[in-house]
Amino acid sequence: MAVLPKLLVFVWVSTIALSVLAFQQTQPELPIVISTWAFVDAVRAAAQHVIKEGGSAVNAVVRGCTVCEVLQCDGSVGYGGSPDEAGETTLDAMVMDGTAMDVGAVGALRSVKRAIETARLVMEHTEHTLLVGSQASAFSLSLGLPGPTNLSTDDSLQAWSQWEKGGCQPNFWRDVIPDSTSACGPYKVSALMSGQGDRSRVGGGISGKHRKSSFSKATGYGNHDTISMAVIDRVRIFFNFVFIECSDACCGLILHQVSVDSDACFDDLLVGDGAIVGASAYADDDVGACGATGDGDVMMRFLPCYQVVESMRQGMTPEEAAKDSIARIRRKFPAFIGAVFAMNKYGVHAGACHGWIFQYTVQDSAMADAVVFTVKPDVL
Active site residue ranges = 226
> What Å distances lie between residue 375 and 221, 326, 355, CA to CA?
14, 13, 11
DSSP state of 230: E
350 vs 133: CA distance, rounded Å: 35
Buried b (16+ CB within 10 A) or exposed e, 241-270: bbbbbbbbbbbbbbbbbbbbbbbbbbbeeb
> What Å distances lie between residue 18 and 9, 15, 317, 329, CA to CA?
12, 8, 24, 31
- Helix (H), strand (E) at residue 374: strand 371-375
Q: CB–CB of 243/272 below 8 Å?
A: yes
3-class DSSP assignment, residue 301: helix
Query: Between β-strands 227-232 and 237-244, what pairing exists: parallel, antiparallel or unpaired?
Result: antiparallel
> What Å distances lie between residue 278 and 46, 250, 303, 309, CA to CA?
23, 10, 5, 9
> How many C-beta neighbours within 10 Å does residue 8 have?
7
CA angle 41, 145, 113 (to 5 degrees): 50
3-class DSSP assignment, residue 61: helix
DSSP state of 194: T
